Amino acid sequence: MASKRTPRGFYALVTTLEALAAALPVLADILEQRPAPRSEVRAANRQRFIDLSISLEPESHELLERTLYEISDPSSRRYGKHLTREEAKSLLLPRQESAESVKRWLFEAGVPDDHVRDGGTLIHARLAVEHAEQLLSTRFVDGHQSVTRLAESVPTDLRGHITTIHPRLVLGDSGLGESLQSKIQTQTSDPPPDEGIAAEQDGHVDLQQCKTRITPACLRELYHMGDTYAKPHKKSLLGVAGFDGQAAQHDMLDKFLSMFARYAIGANFSTELINGGKNPQGEYYSAEANLDVQYTIAMAYKVPVRYYSTGGEDHDFIPDLDISDPKKEYIEPWLPFVSHLLELPDDQLPQVVSISYGVNEQAVPKAHAKQVCNMFGLLGTRGVSVIVSSGDTGPGVSCQSNDGTNTTKFLPSFPATCPYVTSVGATESNGPESATNFSSGGFSDYWPRPAWQEEVIGKYLTKHGKQWQGYYSPKGRGVPDVAAQGKAFLTINHGLVAPADGTSASAPVFASIVALLNDLRFQKGKPPMGFLNPWLYNIGHNGFTDITVGRSDGCLGTSYSGAPAPKIPGAGWDAVPGWDPVTGWGTPLFDSLKILACN
């Protein structure tokens, strides 16, 4: 039976499981609905201030790619020799002429020097909304306006220097450089009363039961984790990305741990606010945030977890049949999120970041997508593993291009297609595990196949590439890289058990395993895993269970909006021996991976 899917974001996918109705208190129709789209968007207050983050064209893209690969390739002498913050920034520095030209343009436009900050790859400027509108010949609405299109509003002689401009309305009295300390929040609470489920608290795990409901105990059994918990090391930190107003609830975490992970009762998370983000406690939209936080804390127990709540909306997307109205819909504000992480001091940077959000790759302007991807690459050079859910759309939903040609094609998801992240597909059941029908995968239209994928994907395409020839880019970066369980996860949301599906569940599970591997490496004096993919495709894939059962499906003739869309009969990717574009290398075996990662 096809699973429900949210109309945007793709990954906060929550369903009701009939099999649980008799056994557990389940919240009916738990799928959280977003607020109704605004019929009218308010104009921004002309007297308020707006921050412009101006992205500069780097002098060289090759330097980042070469350096990241050398640091991440286990056969390289530079393997594991990660860079400092300043060293990483230098890989994407613009030409000196570019920075000087942009700062001169701002100065001549009357922007005071103390309202301009040179961040290397970005120049940040603060000015009144009215002033910014005059400068860029545009009108801001609720602080939003085109990102790449704003770059087209600058003088002609600057267009070769600027790739994107990202605006953000200033809220309150925040400064251009808010202190990090003021944005980190922690909360502790007393352990909740005993509400444990006996069948999973006595050390026994019924794998038959795990076919229809997933708990931390199921995952520990399936992935050979046992009772391995982190020490933890002082360097360890696991980050969870939050967008769309999702609020991670401390009391829901307490209840979840009391029911499904009693060994972790009392564990908690800190919160860091980015770009005006918030994390209020109470009755707020929280399904995705609770899922991500509850499972990272349970699976990576004792590794500190930090929730990065990022505010803002990016309305500068290229409409397609799935997400079509920039006035009412938006994509995640990737630039403020990743920019914030890159600015963190080395000792405050998470070694693993789990991201459960995304959108059709074609909906993100290519220049913007590449900039964000490059910044993920910079994180990799600093030893950060960026783990991204591959999406819940199979080969695609609307399956039509948005370039004006209306070409019928498969639609991969961003940021999973970025070659500098590790993308995670979804499986279900056990004995054997099989691919879920919603697990997104395929081949990027923006990025060519990287060197570390060349051999394995070449073999895959030789055997299976003809089936959907013409619907995908055979020379593109293949996704996903790996997979993990993604169906029937039990979470606690709004006080009740809420089953959840999606690769948004798979990503935090795999991110937790990477965090545990890092912790083991720290104990041995080794650096963190960092950018995983060269290691994964060369060595790490030997620590995975190959999934050869199941397939994805999509292109069924209807878009998310309900509009007619191209139908491709039988469209989908099959799970086959070796790497495939629905489960990647398969699902992790922790006992094998810790040997491969630590020796």
Give me the active site residues, please: 288, 292, 504
Query: Coil, strand, or helix at residue 72?
Result: helix
Q: Which residue positions form the known binding site?
A: 546-547, 578, 580
Other beta carbons less than 10 A from residue 253's beta carbon: 26
Q: What is the maximum span of the chain, computed from C-alpha positions, in angstroms?
A: 71
* Pair 44, 138: CB distance under 8 Å: no
**Neighbouring residues of 286: CB distance < 8 A, sequence distance ≥ 6:** 32, 246, 247, 248, 249, 252, 493, 494
* Pair 49, 520: CB distance under 8 Å: no
- CA dist., res. 85 & res. 514, Å (int): 22
**Neighbouring residues of 475: CB distance < 8 A, sequence distance ≥ 6:** 443, 448, 449
Token couple for 219: 């995952």
Alpha helices per DSSP H over 73-146: 85-89, 96-108, 129-136
For residue 232, cis peptide bond before it (omega within 30 degrees of 0): yes
Other beta carbons less than 10 A from residue 404's beta carbon: 6
Q: Mapped to the 3 state alphabet, what secondary structure does 232-252 carry?
A: CCCCCCEEEEECCCCCCCHHH
Bridge partner list, 128: 49
Distance of CA 566 to CAs 319, 321, 555, 594, Å? 16, 10, 7, 45
- CA-CA-CA-CA torsion sign (553, 559, 561, 563): negative
What is the total residue count of the chain?
A: 599
Per-residue burial over 119-148, b if 16 or more Cβ lie within 10 Å, else e, is bbbbbbbbbbbbbbbebbebebeebbbbbb
- CA dist., res. 27 & res. 598, Å (int): 43
Query: Coil, strand, or helix at residue 435?
Result: strand
Q: Indicate the helix (H) or strand (E) that contains 297.
A: helix 287-299
Q: Which residue positions form the known binding site for Ca(2+)?
A: 546-547, 578, 580
- CA dist., res. 54 & res. 99, Å (int): 10
Number of H helices, E strands in the chain: 14, 23
- CA dist., res. 469 & res. 454, Å (int): 18
User: Running DSSP on this structure, what letter comes out for residue 395?
Assistant: T
